[in-house]
């Protein structure tokens, strides 16, 4: 049975044409897009339903955190902004997640594990706790087998934890 995907929202971005929905989370959807100026395919995370300005700031915190981190096993961000109904993040496009990976050959399993641990180490070196490690947040690029950690929406930085961030959050 094929899952029906939601069409792209009526969102006009200056440089990106939105396409099909790639996935949906608790705060919005992720869409395939094409960045016309850079001439690359991208993922566009659209976060909607944010009425409170402080919640908008919290959502943009993810973009700022991603922009500061630079590691081959962490998802890259190209741009972010806001529109009437929420915010958008223009991200590196990956082919899929680790969720469907099963019974991998030993070498591939070791490679995936090593890459995820390197991404986690980069976060920890930056004093960031991801707090939502799960197969759906571990993205795979088919052309070279690269694995990247994504979705820093509930990540916390050690320096900001005292500013009201909950002790626990994420996926059990």
Helix, strand or coil, per DSSP, at residue 80 = strand
* Count of beta carbons in the 10 Å neighbourhood of residue 16: 21
132 belongs to the catalytic site: yes
DSSP letter string, 84-139: TTEEEEEEE--SEESTT--S--HHHHHHHHHHHHHHHHHHHHTTEE----SGGGEE
CA distance 6 to 127: 36
* Cβ-based neighbours of 71, under 8 Å, separated by 6 or more: 118, 119, 122
From 70, 132, 144, 151, the catalytic residue: 132
Question: What is the set of active-site residues?
Answer: 132
């Amino acid at each position: 049975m094929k899952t029906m995907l939601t069409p792209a929202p009526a969102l006009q971005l200056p440089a990106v044409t939105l396409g099909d929905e790639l996935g949906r989370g608790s705060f919005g959807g992720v869409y395939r897009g094409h960045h016309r100026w850079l001439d690359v395919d991208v993922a566009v995370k659209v976060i909607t339903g944010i009425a409170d300005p402080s919640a908008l700031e919290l959502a943009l915190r993810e973009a700022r955190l991603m922009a500061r981190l630079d590691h081959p096993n962490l998802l890259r961000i190209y741009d972010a902004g806001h529109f009437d109904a929420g915010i958008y993040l223009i991200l590196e496009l990956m082919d899929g997640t680790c969720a469907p990976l099963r019974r991998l050959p030993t070498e591939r399993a070791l490679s995936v594990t090593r890459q995820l641990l390197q991404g986690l180490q980069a976060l920890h070196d930056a004093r960031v706790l991801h707090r939502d490690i799960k197969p759906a947040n571990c993205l795979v690029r088919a052309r070279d087998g690269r694995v990247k950690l994504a979705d820093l929406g509930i990540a916390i930085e050690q320096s900001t934890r005292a500013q009201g961030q909950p002790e626990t959050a994420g996926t059990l």
